[in-house]
Amino acid sequence: MIKNRRKIHEGKAKVLYEGPKTGTIIQHFKDDATAFNGERHEIIDGKGVLNNRITEYIFLAMEEIGIATHFIKRLNMREQLIKKVEIIPLEVVVRNVIAGSLAKKLGMKEGTKLSRSIIEYYYKDDALNDPMVTDEHITAFDWATPSELEDMVATTLRVNDFLTGLFYGIGIQLVDFKLEFGRHVEDGNMRIILADEFSPDNCRLWDIKTGEKLDKDRFRQNLGGLVNAYQEVARRLGILNENGDVIDSDEKVKGDKPTLVK
Ligand code: TMP
Ligand code: ASP
- Residue 129 pLDDT: 96
Proportion of the chain above pLDDT 90, given as a percent: 89
pLDDT of 253 > 60? The answer is no
pLDDT of 90 > 50? The answer is yes
Compute the mean pLDDT over every residue in the chain, rounded to the nearest whole number.
Answer: 94
pLDDT tens-digit readout, 188-197: 999 999 999 9
**Does the residue 35 lie in any domain?**
no
**Does the residue 246 lie in any domain?**
no
- Residue 258 pLDDT: 64
Across residues 247-255, what is the average pLDDT?
A: 50
DSSP-assigned letter for residue 1:
-
Residues in the chain: 262
**Does the residue 41 lie in any domain?**
no
DSSP-assigned letters across all residues of 70-117: SEEEE-SSSEEEEE--EE-SEEEEEEEE--HHHHHHHT--TTPEEEEE
Decide: 178 in ligand 1 pocket, CB within 6 A: yes
**Does the residue 179 lie in any domain?**
yes
- Residue 252 pLDDT: 44
Domain count, the chain: 1
Across residues 237-255, what is the average pLDDT?
A: 66
pTM given for the model: 0.94
- What is the domain-level CATH number for residue 201? 3.30.470.20
Ligand 1 atom 7: residue of nearest CA: 177
**CA-to-CA separations, 227 to 102, 146, 224, 230, in angstroms, rounded:** 26, 40, 9, 5
State which of 10, 32, 37, 47 you would mutate to test the pocket of ligand 2, scoring each by most atoms of that ligand within 8 A of its C-beta: 37
- Residue 68 pLDDT: 98
Q: Tell me the residue range of the domain where 139 lies.
A: 87-224
**Does the residue 180 lie in any domain?**
yes
